[in-house]
Amino acid sequence: MKILVCISHVPDTTSKINFTDGDTKFDTNGVQFVINPNDEFGLTRAMWFKEKQGATVSVVNVGGAETEPTLRKALAIGADAAIRVNTPATDAFSVAKQLAKVVKDGGYDLVIAGRESIDYNGGMVPGMIAGLTEANFVNNCINLEVDGTSAKAIREIDGGKETVSTSLPLVIGGQKGLVEESDLRIPNMRGIMMARQKPLTVVEPIDVSAETTSVSFEKPIPKGAVTLVSPDNLDELVSLLHNEAKVI
């Protein structure tokens, strides 16, 4: 089984975010980038398939050379090879089309992508890849088993979980639950050294026009001050909710 894991290069959630050029560009200075958490769950599940079923695992990213350390980390975790599509990730549709080309060229049986990335939270790329490659698709996937060309997946739905049966080729949008957080892997020294010898192929992008552009960015409004009210002083609480918060 050939597995392709899509890796997004995203800012660490602990990073302080700023914008430049009149709030039209993201300021990367001083920002630590990591593997998108949803993708990391998917990569760990792919490693399980590699170890238990002998699958081969490749990782792919759409982005410039600055994303290669993130791909190298994925290789250090245990992926066999990496692919970087040499173009900035501009919008979901253009990224999905670039990734779909990689999927078709590589003849992958299973494509594991994160349900969404934590920077833009679009949640569109996995479904678009499935549509463009005419593969089956399971989103919000929290468990996956593959037996030959058959697959059984569990996905989250409103108010519960749903178990579905499908077949390869398959694209999933994975998330927490695909593996447990305790199962996530930290590269060890041997993995880091071996990653230097593994292939990282840079491919040129196909000609795709972006369907959306970011006009400007705006930070969330800072949280206001908190007013503490004694539980015995209900009159003051009602007064504040009515006169200041204006919620009653």
In a domain, 234, yes or no: no
In a domain, 168, yes or no: yes
d(CA 65, CA 88): 10
pLDDT the model gives residue 213 = 85
In a domain, 222, yes or no: no
Host domain of residue 151 = 2-216
In a domain, 223, yes or no: no
- If you search the block for the tokens 């090879």, which residue do you land on? 81
In a domain, 163, yes or no: yes
Burial of 76 (0-12, 13-18, 19+ CB in 10 A): buried
Please state the domain count of the chain. Answer: 1
pLDDT the model gives residue 107 = 96
C-beta of residue 40 within 8 angstroms of C-beta of residue 63:
no
d(CA 222, CA 3): 43
C-beta of residue 60 within 8 angstroms of C-beta of residue 85:
yes
Closest CA to 141 of 4, 42, 2: 42
Residue 203's CATH number: 3.40.50.620
Ramachandran quadrant class, 107 (left: phi over 0; alpha: psi -120 to 50; beta: rest): left
In a domain, 181, yes or no: yes
Closest CA to 218 of 16, 4, 23, 13: 23
- Give pTM, 2 decimals: 0.87
Tokens at 121, concatenated: 């939270």
Long-range contacts of 16-20 (CB under 8 A, 24+ apart): 17/219, 19/217, 19/219
In a domain, 114, yes or no: yes
- If you search the block for the tokens 């949008």, which residue do you land on? 173
Q: What are phi and psi of 220, to 5 degrees?
A: -60, 150
- If you search the block for the tokens 């390869």, which residue do you land on? 168
In a domain, 224, yes or no: no
According to DSSP, the residues that pair with 19 across neighbouring strands are 26
Q: For the chain, which ranges sit under pLDDT 50?
A: none
pLDDT the model gives residue 225 = 82
pLDDT the model gives residue 82 = 98
Closest CA to 97 of 211, 219, 11, 223: 211
